[in-house]
Amino acid sequence: MPRSLLVLSALSLALAGALVACAPGSSGAGKNTAAAAAPSAPLAKADVDSEQAKISYVVGRDFARSVEPIRAELDTELVLRAIRDAQAGRPSLFDDSETKRIRDGFSAHLRDKHDQEVKALAARNLAAGEAFLAKNAKAEGVKTTASGLQYKVDREGKGAHPKASDTVRVNYVGTLIDGSKFESTYDTDHPAEFVLAQVMPGWTEGVQLMTPGAKYRFWMPPKLAYGERGLAGQIEPNAVLAFEVELLEIAGQGAPTHDE
């Protein structure tokens, strides 16, 4: 679920907390009331010298962060006026059913907007990925399989090739096509271990080309990686992924030796 939708569920709590910061005279100090009357004037530390003023400031900043994903959708001054109306005990302009209709409509709007943004991003990534793979396929030493997986041998190993049902131990670095790293076993204190059939198709196919001790580079088109969905917070939709993989061991066969 996009973060902007999660904001809606937390909005009531954030607004309730923000009432402390927006209450007329809530700080008990005239200078804080003056600051509230002039919202365009930046606050100084001298304006928040009591514990109540400090928590009011923190709640206000937290509230601002909570609505940042939907800030462009809001009239900030109207939000503040609604807070003051509620705090003053004035009745809502909308009854419960109308409020629900408005809130549900806004949620649907955010979902549609998010879906359109994801589709546009996926289309851009697909085009960029196809261009990258077309160029990369012509690079020296790069081979392309029938599925579209690209690979290059940095070092060959010895022994048997793993099967999809085998458990393997590997070290690897994962990057995007712009070179930015998103994952690496070298940043942890141990290699990764998994059943080949239980990981992304590009890994299942690619590691079976290797033998223990080998080190390969792989470039995986979206259909062999995370596809149109991507991986929330880490991998964008239709992203091409690149991996440097070192096959250390096939479970039950022991660690290999290899020629450097």
Q: What is the DSSP track for the chain?
A: --HHHHHHHHHHHHHHHHHHHHSTTTTS-HHHHHHHH-TTSPP-GGG--SHHHHHHHHHHHHHHHHHGGGGGGS-HHHHHHHHHHHHTTPPPSS-HHHHHHHHHHHHHHHHHHHHHHHHHHHHHHHHHHHHHHHHHTTSTT-EE-TTS-EEEEEE---SPPPPTTSEEEEEEEEEETTS-EEEEGGGSSS-EEEEGGGS-HHHHHHHTT--TT-EEEEEE-GGGTTTTT-BTTTB-TT--EEEEEEEEEETTS-------
Q: What is the pLDDT at residue 14?
A: 44
pLDDT, tens digit (0-9, with 9 covering 90-100), for 173-232: 999 999 999 999 999 989 999 999 999 999 999 999 999 999 999 999 999 999 999 998
Of all residues in the chain, the percent with pLDDT exceeding 70 is 81
What type of residue is 183? E
Residues 6+ apart with CB under 8 A from 179: none
Mean pLDDT of all residues belonging to the chain: 85
Confidence check: pLDDT of 26 > 50: no
The residues that bridge with 144 in the sheet, in sequence order, are 150
Q: Which stretch of 43-47, 100-104, 122-126, 216-220 has the lowest confidence by average pLDDT?
A: 43-47
Return the ∠ at Cα 197 (arms to 179 and 145), rounded to 5°: 55
Of 10, 8, 14, 16, nearest in space to 87 by CA:
16
Of 193, 191, 169, 182, nearest in space to 226 by CA:
182
User: What is the C-alpha to C-alpha distance for residues 221 and 198, in angstroms, rounded to an integer?
Assistant: 18
pLDDT band of 31, cuts 50, 70, 90: very low
pLDDT band of 253, cuts 50, 70, 90: low
Average pLDDT over residues 160-175: 96
Confidence check: pLDDT of 102 > 90: yes
Confidence check: pLDDT of 255 > 60: no
Q: Which stretch of 26-35, 54-63, 79-88, 217-226 has the lowest confidence by average pLDDT?
A: 26-35
Of all residues in the chain, the percent with pLDDT exceeding 90 is 77
Question: In this structure, how many other beta carbons lie within 10 angstroms of the beta carbon of residue 48?
Answer: 21
pLDDT, tens digit (0-9, with 9 covering 90-100), for 65-96: 999 999 999 999 999 999 999 999 999 999 99
SS3 110: helix
pLDDT band of 244, cuts 50, 70, 90: very high
Q: Given the structure tokens 């070298």, which residue do they identify?
A: 186
Q: What is the pLDDT at residue 40?
A: 63
Q: What is the pLDDT at residue 138?
A: 97
Average pLDDT over residues 32-38: 40
Confidence check: pLDDT of 245 > 60: yes
